Amino acid sequence: MARRNIKWSRWLTLLIELSGFGISVYLVLISFKIIYPETVPCPRGKLFHCASVLRGEWSKIGPVPISVLGALYFLVQSFLTVAAERSRNWVAPVKVWFCIMGLLFVAWLRAVEIVWLRGICPWCWAVALATFAQAFLLYPLASPPLPRLEWPKRLGYLAAALLVLVIAATVLAFMIYEREQQLARRELGKESPAVREAKSTPTSTKTPPAARPTSTPVASPTARTTPTNGRSGPPANHGEVEEGVPVTNDVKILVRHGWSVVASGDAVRRYIREEAPVLLLVFDPWCEECQAFIRGGLESDEIRKQPVKLVAIEQGSLDGKLSSEVAHVPTLMLIDRAGNILFKHEGRMSTKELISAIETALRP
């Protein structure tokens, strides 16, 4: 009976829930490319990964976009708020528990952004803020068992609780991420082009132990091949991934087909000085267009046979003059030792088109 006398801003709660529903529907339209089919509206910068969040691999749970789940959440909560006028006894606990699940989901999504995507979507944070505001307004319905608090203490209480949830979710996500990375690097060490070539090399001629090479395959997590200026012939594309590069499915594909995936602009510049010409791929591991390009035009061993060094880098890791050349991802650039861009292409292209562009650019 005490719960009936609790003051609850029902209409303000409904306004917040309808606002969250409106933002979620807007994100649903973006997710399905009904609006903004090419470019997701998002601030430019390394911090923002709207396209990855809304259209990348982490934008769905199974076949269902997360934005759809958000829209359904606020729609159901709005219905419960309207129904609370007549049936508060059963609606109040349902809304509270539903809101708790919403906060847990919000905390997990923030952990995904921090650990896997390493970038945020401002629109998704707007949805998270709506969920937090809703929890603030619903707090009186959870009292008891929660203590009754004035709004300043209630705000601090809920903010601290959400922060704890985000930290716990981030720790859990980081543990999962580290385990995935270990398994992925172990898998790359077994499947790299260098390992396949070593297995296919005839071993009938015995080599004295002292003359045997001692280096490990370049796809090893800690191994690197240092380019030399005195090489003869085209660069060798054995494929590797540097420490500090998240090993996603697309990074695995690149390494298997001879690309050196690097972690910094300094590594790119080193390759340009020592292994030019360099075919540089600038991508976002969670960009839908990048994924389609890597799994289409770049998933071929024909490209690694070209007289160029294959180097790939995430857009957020590229700096300096070359970063100003990249307006959209994916971007391909063929660069000579002097740093001149021999050809540049934004978006997808077929393997045949890419090889033809390389041959044309390198033609005397």
> Please, what are the averages of pLDDT over each run of 10 residues along the chain (364 residues)?
58 95 96 87 77 82 93 96 79 92 96 89 94 95 87 94 97 94 84 54 43 37 40 73 88 92 94 92 85 88 92 90 89 94 93 94 88
Amino acid at 22: G
Which letter does DSSP use for residue 120 in this model?
B
pLDDT at 229: 44
What separation in angstroms does the CA of 287 have from each of 187, 263, 351?
23, 18, 19
The string over 215-249, giving b where at least 16 C-beta atoms fall within 10 Å of a residue's C-beta and e elsewhere, is eebbbbbeeeeebeeeeeeebbbbbbbbeebbbbe
Element (H, E) at 240: strand 240-241
Return d(Cα 13, Cα 9) in angstroms, integer. Answer: 6
Domains of the chain with bracketed CATH:
2-183 (1.20.1440.130), 218-362 (3.40.30.10)
């959440």: which residue's tokens? 73
pLDDT at 280: 97
pLDDT at 271: 94
pLDDT at 209: 42
CA angle 42/44/50 to nearest 5° reads 35
What separation in angstroms does the CA of 324 have from each of 39, 55, 120, 282, 328?
18, 25, 22, 12, 10
pLDDT at 1: 38
